[in-house]
A and B are shown apart, each in its own frame.
Chain A
């Protein structure tokens, strides 16, 4: 399996495309900046949201019980899934019990994480993703590359081709307005005919047993309000204690994600529609483990806004698929190693630790510090590259001995000056696109010895 560095290398083969991907996402970051700077109280909102989430995580046990009790009183059936497998079985089980084999689904990164579509497909249940971006990647048989903008990596011509093949739009048609209208028609028929809808959950309120789903398209609502069965899938960390806390999160979420003051729809589901069955599946899948990791537990504050991805200079130039996990980018890189340290050992290293992510995060997750800490854990657990480990030991040996360091430095400079081809060749990755530094006559240490009288 290729790692981030190899996948990014492939991604960077097409420089024009990288520029396009980078500029598109930087533009989203810029929109976020404009929205944030429009609120003088922005930093207070961030601290408040962060503290609310810290409180939730430190009382998660009681809040979950409170939520379950209130949701049940509202007529919602509550299920608990320890892992992805259990989640998938529960969802499939509900559908099978209702005799339903065709469903619509709105955006839920949790269901991506659990590979729900695949499982349902194998169980003979057809799933139509109704978020436009998700429908596009579904037709392309790819996973989404961004948690908020699923097909940000696709050009409109490519989408036009897909729609021509699957929806019968004219060949060569790439106008977003036309294509969106075609998708509207195509998916409207699905909304009307499918008896079950799956949605995600942006926030669940312990105090009232209600949950909130945010969309711009209205597809979660079209699905849920026309279906006989509504199944909402939720990570256990998505709770907020009080209804009033939604004010803080709804002010932060869309501004952080896309620079809008709010999504078109912030739908509060409290009770099933009369005659409808409403289910909510509470999913752990590694979250309770992460909760026990002192250095990493507050990664669970994440509200899945995607701001960290938009600002990350590495993500913008490598694309979501280079992270080979459902949730990519900076937040993905501190969540994934908890799920499978071996598989995702490369991700915390896919960063320069610039710290931009930490500072756009609406709930103040110290992402870049956690990336550093994961690196220590991964090496300690033995998942470091062997070549790197050897190089590091050599470095440690040299740098802890002043005389050896000075000799090594002098030798290096000499080689660079007199036999540059020993260094300037294909084996030296630096040299691929950069010249090596020039070799000075003396090191500073040598100059100092010669020129400064030491007392």
Chain B
């Protein structure tokens, strides 16, 4: 008998009578102001929220906060004037020196300020993790209340890889002192458009 067969037959012998699944949960207490909750939570975990009307405002913001010699890549063609484009076919390791990556998210979740970003928006999976700073552009109307709404929105969509990303990378492993920028980005800015 193979391991697989052995394991499966033992499980079949030992598992209990089937019990039913519970009723599906949905959001019970949505916040009055999704943007306010999203912003408060994100700021609390070291992220920044910038409300903008159009891509030009993002360009100006980036010009102000990022200098020459810093490598900025983006998946947004509107930001071509200030960021590298067409880098998608490069080897994942080549993004090691990226100072800032600017990408989009499908939606954000107010209860935990997480953004749902899939591979198609990352282009290369390593990008949102390997950059020193991450910026994400989110449409205001794409703010949802809780994770129940989030998975409702995701539905049965297909992706090779997707991640909920909530704020910059962090650790509290040294005596519970919170430090931002463990292995992933040290900072995260969310541009909320609309």
A and B in contact, CB less than 8 Å: yes
Instruction: Decide yes or no: A218 and B176 within 8 Å by CB, A187-B183, A271-B160 being known contacts.
Output: no
Partner of B19, one of A51, A224, A246: A51
User: Which of A81, A132, A149 has its CB near the most chain B CB atoms (within 10 A)?
Assistant: A132
Q: How far is the CB of B105 from chain A (nearest CB, A)?
A: 13
Q: How many angstroms between the C-alpha atoms of A267 and B10 in the bound complex?
A: 31
The answer to whether B92 touches A225, judged by C-beta atoms less than 8 angstroms apart, is: yes
Closest Cβ neighbor of B2 among chain A residues: A80
Closest Cβ neighbor of A227 among chain B residues: B92
Q: How far is the CB of B81 from chain A (nearest CB, A)?
A: 28
Quick one: CB contact mask for A10-51 with B, threshold 8 Å, 1 for yes? Answer: 000000000000001001100000000001110011011001
User: Which of A208, A261, A264 has its CB near the most chain B CB atoms (within 10 A)?
Assistant: A264
Determine if A204 is an interface residue (Cβ-Cβ < 8 Å).
Answer: no
Q: How many angstroms between the C-alpha atoms of A20 and B168 in the bound complex?
A: 29
Q: How far is the CB of A310 from chain B (nearest CB, A)?
A: 11
Residues in B with CB closer than 8 Å to A262 are 112, 114, 147, 164, 166
Q: Interface range on chain B: under 10, 10 to 19, 20 to 34, or 35 or more? A: 35 or more
The answer to whether A225 touches B126, judged by C-beta atoms less than 8 angstroms apart, is: yes
Determine if A363 is an interface residue (Cβ-Cβ < 8 Å).
Answer: no
Quick one: CB contact mask for A251-285 with B, threshold 8 Å, 1 for yes? Answer: 10000001011111111111111000000001010
Determine if A314 is an interface residue (Cβ-Cβ < 8 Å).
Answer: no
The answer to whether B29 touches A41, judged by C-beta atoms less than 8 angstroms apart, is: yes
Partner of B182, one of A57, A132, A149, A294: A132
Instruction: Decide yes or no: A216 and B182 within 8 Å by CB, A24-B175, A55-B19, A82-B3 being known contacts.
Output: yes
Q: How many angstroms between the C-alpha atoms of A237 and B12 in the bound complex?
A: 14
Residues in A with CB closer than 8 Å to B113 are 261
Determine if A52 is an interface residue (Cβ-Cβ < 8 Å).
Answer: yes
Partner of B12, one of A45, A52, A61: A61
Partner of B167, one of A48, A61, A264: A264
Residues in B with CB closer than 8 Å to A272 are 160
Instruction: Decide yes or no: A180 and B161 within 8 Å by CB, A64-B11, A155-B175, A266-B114 being known contacts.
Output: no
The answer to whether B182 touches A219, judged by C-beta atoms less than 8 angstroms apart, is: yes
Determine if A247 is an interface residue (Cβ-Cβ < 8 Å).
Answer: yes
The stretch that binds A, out of B48-56, B68-76, B148-156, is B148-156
The answer to whether B129 touches A221, judged by C-beta atoms less than 8 angstroms apart, is: yes
Q: How far is the CB of A253 from chain B (nearest CB, A)?
A: 11
Q: How many angstroms between the C-alpha atoms of A187 and B183 in the bound complex?
A: 8
Q: How many angstroms between the C-alpha atoms of A146 and B76 in the bound complex?
A: 43
Determine if B20 is an interface residue (Cβ-Cβ < 8 Å).
Answer: yes
User: Can you name 18 A-B pairs with beta carbons within 8 Å?
Assistant: A55-B21, A58-B17, A131-B173, A150-B173, A152-B176, A183-B182, A188-B96, A218-B182, A219-B182, A221-B129, A244-B151, A247-B147, A260-B45, A270-B158, A270-B159, A270-B161, A273-B125, A282-B7
Residues on A lying within 8 angstroms of B by beta carbon are 24, 27-28, 39-41, 44-45, 47-48, 51-52, 54-55, 57-61, 64-65, 80-82, 86, 130-133, 136, 149-152, 154-156, 159, 176-177, 179-181, 183-184, 187-188, 191-192, 208, 216-219, 221-222, 224-226, 236, 241, 243-244, 246-248, 250-251, 258, 260-273, 282, 284, 288-289, 291-292, 294, 297
